[in-house]
A and B are shown apart, each in its own frame.
Chain A
Amino acid sequence: MRLYLAILLGKLISFISRTLKIGGGSAAPGLYALKIEPDLVEKLAGFIPKNVIITGTNGKTTTARILAHLAKEAGLKIIRNPTGSNLERGIASALISGAKLNHLNHPEGGLRWHLGVWELDEFAFNEVAPKLKPDLILFLNVSRDQLDRYGEIDKVVDRWCKTISKLNPKTIILINPDLAKLKNYFKGETKEFGKVKNIKTDGLNGTSFEFQISNFKFQISMPVPGMYNVLNATAAITAAYYLNIPITPLNNFQPAFGRFEKLPFGYIFLIKNPAGATQVFETIAPLIKPNDRLLLALNDNLADGTDVSWIWDAVFEILLQKSSRAKSRDLSLYVSGNRAHDLAVRLKYAGFEPDAIEVEPSLKKALKRSREGLKGKLFILPTYTCMLELQQILAKMGIKKHYWRE
């Protein structure tokens, strides 16, 4: 009965927030439903035959999306938390929206899914993983991200060790070789990702490579740039392999909103921490052409991390050194967000000409200014809440659907 009420309330909140267009409804329904039924995630996830958890600092959303893509191509029905809402409330919200109230007494609880793919924030993992009783866990990587919330990197890994020591030894745990420490704490056997060979890049159009695991080889060709996405794909394909999901070349895979997105006038690449931002700089720097412009947006809201020190660990210098315009230093730069001025300082110290940096804290105005007289492409690099705001601005301009439909 409590579960029923919790789902009902969640569905109601979701309906209201969608009707009023006040947000994506990706967190609030779960947040309030969990207050009524704290075991909601455990109970509803228990109805799903297989659950996969993906955690780590960078690449969770893309990895989850690639795995979901492969599963869908194989005809499986997938449930997942799609909007980067990766705390317990996000998972609860997804489960609520997937549950059918009038079927709760049926064996599958109205959740007619084959596979749950859950991306979990590296900290929330410890609390939520035991509740999901996962069949497979993917540990991607740990790097500095929002230390103001999570404390230090070593502590993140130490907590993971503790959590996995209590998990069912039959769980398939896939780890990035950097996280070998986890091996010693898990009662079962951990496995590593498959190997990648012959990587070929085609600018912003995509990447192709050969993937090898035990005696199997697959040719992959995906329409997403960046070496970091090769790593994400490797993780996802390895998971698919162990879940007996057929592996396809990924050529019609579509990246998640904002992570990498093509617009009529440019591209969006989400940046949120030093490692991720630096990977984006590595990817785009060699491709920026003389008429192109750059719009960087930094907020210090909770979801971005309130400490903006991280921009000094991100290697903005690459944008100059690896660009074909390294010597001209006149790349048109627009900085925005509530910490736009901090970004301006960072860029000046990265070697950009101060006169080439235009500061406009309002994202709407910055977008307008940066598009005025634009002859090339606009590369937009927003932090998380800037990206959400950008989606709304683009929706209002008629360039994108309202973001909750994503």
Chain B
Amino acid sequence: MKLIIGYLYGDYMNIYGDTGNIIALQRRAEWRGIDIRVKVKSLKSKIKKKEVDIFFFGGGQDQQQELVSRDLVLSIKGKTVKQEIERGVPLLAICGGYQLLGKYYKPHKGPRLQGVGLFPAYTAASDQRMIGNIVIDSRFGKLVGFENHSGKTYLEKNAKSLGKIITGFGNNGEDGTEGCIYKNAVGCYMHGSLLPKNPQLADWLLLKALEVKYGPQAKLKSLDDNIELKAHNIAIHRFT
């Protein structure tokens, strides 16, 4: 079996250890004998349909995020990603990546930046820096990470959140929600890195990728996650 990770703008959007998520997906696939490769899809690249099996989109610095936001819309890469998500391709987007895949971003000054519109959500700049450890309750069980953002994301009525806040700020520090899930695409504010310490989410992304590529009978062998789960449990215990 073969999988391709499409690392969206990996050369610009890779702040706060986001690459740890790529490492986690790679190792967990390799440990199961799956041939997995990473392709960075950046400013000059094109994305063909069925070329990428899992998308990852990290956070970036403001300047770079603006550059990427324009390219996503102008190069129609954003549109391609959205079409792929519609057919079930899994995606994980953290922080900046999550914001850019929403409907729009409203900065302090100036016009709205148009988003990809994949997640039924929008983000507004704020003066509040939301920093700290975050624990949420989700359909994947508890998830633990570290958030660091000032943008506040608001979900639309029909949107499903990734989970409810136990500790931390989440989407906006107001409504108790964190992240958004649409089909097999997950967006959230959780760095940490997220996937190494929440292996159940990493495996869900891998399984969805296999199902889309090789059919619904695809299975993942279980792994010894003793070390990962200890880190997961101890972090939750410390921060809640």
Binding site for B on A (CB under 8 A): 144, 147-148, 152-155, 306-313, 338, 341-342, 344-346, 348-349, 354, 357, 359
Number of residue pairs A-B, CB distance < 8 angstroms: 81
Q: What 1/0 mask marks residues of chain B from 52 to 71 whose CB sits below 8 Å from any chain A CB?
A: 00000000011100000000
Q: Are A309 and B20 in contact (CB under 8 A)?
A: yes
Q: Tell me the smallest distance from the CB of A376 to a CB of chain B, in Å.
A: 25
Q: Tell me the smallest distance from the CB of B159 to a CB of chain A, in Å.
A: 26
B174 lies within 8 A of chain A by Cβ: no
Q: A152-B61, A152-B62, A306-B132 are in contact. Are A313 and B17 (CB under 8 A)?
A: yes
- Bound: A344/B197 CA distance, A: 11
Q: Tell me the smallest distance from the CB of B108 to a CB of chain A, in Å.
A: 15
B24 lies within 8 A of chain A by Cβ: yes
- Bound: A342/B194 CA distance, A: 11
Q: Tell me the smallest distance from the CB of A69 to a CB of chain B, in Å.
A: 36
- Bound: A229/B191 CA distance, A: 31
Q: Are B224 and A354 in contact (CB under 8 A)?
A: yes
**Chain B residues touching A, range:** 20 to 34
Residues on A with beta carbons closer than 8 Å to the beta carbon of B196: 312, 345-346, 349
Q: Tell me the smallest distance from the CB of A394 to a CB of chain B, in Å.
A: 27
Q: Are B197 and A309 in contact (CB under 8 A)?
A: no
Residues on B with beta carbons closer than 8 Å to the beta carbon of A155: 61-62
Q: Are B20 and A348 in contact (CB under 8 A)?
A: no
CB < 8 Å: which of B19, B62, B131, B231 contacts A312? B19
Q: A345-B227, A349-B196 are in contact. Are A309 and B17 (CB under 8 A)?
A: yes
Residues on B with beta carbons closer than 8 Å to the beta carbon of A154: 61-63
B226 lies within 8 A of chain A by Cβ: yes
- Bound: A323/B108 CA distance, A: 50
Chain B, 215-240, CB within 8 A of any chain A CB: 224, 226-228, 230-231, 234-235, 238
Q: Tell me the smallest distance from the CB of A145 to a CB of chain B, in Å.
A: 12
- Bound: A152/B2 CA distance, A: 36
Q: Are A307 and B16 in contact (CB under 8 A)?
A: yes
Q: Are A349 and B197 in contact (CB under 8 A)?
A: no
Residues on B with beta carbons closer than 8 Å to the beta carbon of A306: 131-133, 146
B23 lies within 8 A of chain A by Cβ: yes
CB < 8 Å: which of B15, B27, B227 contacts A147? B15
CB < 8 Å: which of B61, B63, B231, B238 contacts A345? B231
Q: Are A147 and B234 in contact (CB under 8 A)?
A: no
Residue of A309, A357, A359 contacting most chain B CB atoms (<10 Å): A309
